[in-house]
Amino acid sequence: MTRGAGPLAGLRIIEIAGIGPGPFCGMLLADLGADVVVVDRIEPNGETADLGPAAVTNRGKRSIAADLKSPGDVAMVLDLVGGADALIEGMRPGVMERLGLGPDACLARNPALVYGRMTGWGQEGPLAHAAGHDLNYIALSGALWYAGQPGEPPITPPSVVGDVGGALYLAVGLLAGVMNARQTGTGQVVDSAIVDGSAHMLNLLLALKAIGHMVNERGQSILDGPHWYSTYRCSDGQFVSVGSVEPKFYRLLREKLGLLDEPAFDDGNAIERWPDLKDRFAELFAMRPRAEWCALLEGSDACFAPVLNPDEAAGHPHMVARGVYQVQDGVLQASPAPRFSGTPVTAIGAIPRRGADKTEVLAEWCSGAREVAAE
């Protein structure tokens, strides 16, 4: 278990159980050594449902169980708030207030608390109370626009891009808030909305748009149109990627593909020729299996990588050398990231049994180490 080790050792986080970006944010903080306590819900039958080793985003945390409609359990959570640095919740706006655990109640108990709110649309605005998922948030923010080809609808992202992006912004916000609270003694609310974060990440492309390298028409910009920045099917049905943006890398790619003597490829920025040159690349890559292209191009400055599934990625020599993936209890998981020289964290924390840590957590966190009735 990484708790007690890592750069965030000593940081105490309460996480109100939820789905998606909130638990992911809690996992990230726990990976880095924070003491993250999940307040899991008690089921109607009075039991808690364990997900076992599949609950990867609960790794490294501790768990208590609570009925948040019970005044006694709400009081218990407020006791925990008194000893916490930050809180994570991902309810719709107003839900935590109705439970008696909103920012006002929690900050009254602990004025230095950083109260992290994770939603899709944010706490305010016309859509604040509407349902949605990460695909909707990145669509509205503009971040989904370039994920597609001319005349075709945008492609659904291959992973929960919005959820993870939202979680990372929440993590940064919480840590920034804790730093400020330790200097000033005053906590605050962090409103982390996926729609905000995905728009913020779009600044990378907006900078290119400002100098004319990205336009609104799909297939006409340097990151969604050229033959030298795309993926291609190989003869065995597998795929490879090339991203030879810079001229020197593009020249090396042409050299390795045997295309230096073909003048059609001389001007890699000739937008009107991109469709034809992309077809030519497609024909070329379809002539060999992926393994042969890896042997020719991988590790060179041609900016190449095979498109791997997660199991293949875990076994790739580069990923193995860096220990990017681990298998714990039969479940493939990505290792903690990023990496720290002075306070390294490499081990994956154990996944707690729901509700198992109540007595221990209350004794450690609550002033006066209150007595806990046997359950």
* Residues with active-site annotation: 133, 163
Written as six digits, the tokens of 78 are 């407020």
Handedness of CA 203, 206, 210, 213 (dihedral sign): positive
E strand or H helix that includes residue 65: strand 62-66
Query: Pairing mode, if any, of strands 239-243 and 304-307?
Result: antiparallel
- Rounded CA-CA distance 357/62 in Å is 6
Q: How far is CA 140 from the centre of its chain?
A: 19
Q: How far apart are CA 334 and CA 326, in angstroms?
A: 6
176, 168 Cβ separation under 8 angstroms: no
User: Which residues lie below 8 Å from residue 328, measured CB to CB, with a gap of 6+?
Assistant: 53, 59, 348
Contacts of 193 (CB under 8 A, 6+ apart): 119, 120, 121, 122, 123, 137, 166
- Tokens at 128, concatenated: 């604040």
Q: How many whole angstroms separate alpha carbon 299 and alpha carbon 72? A: 60
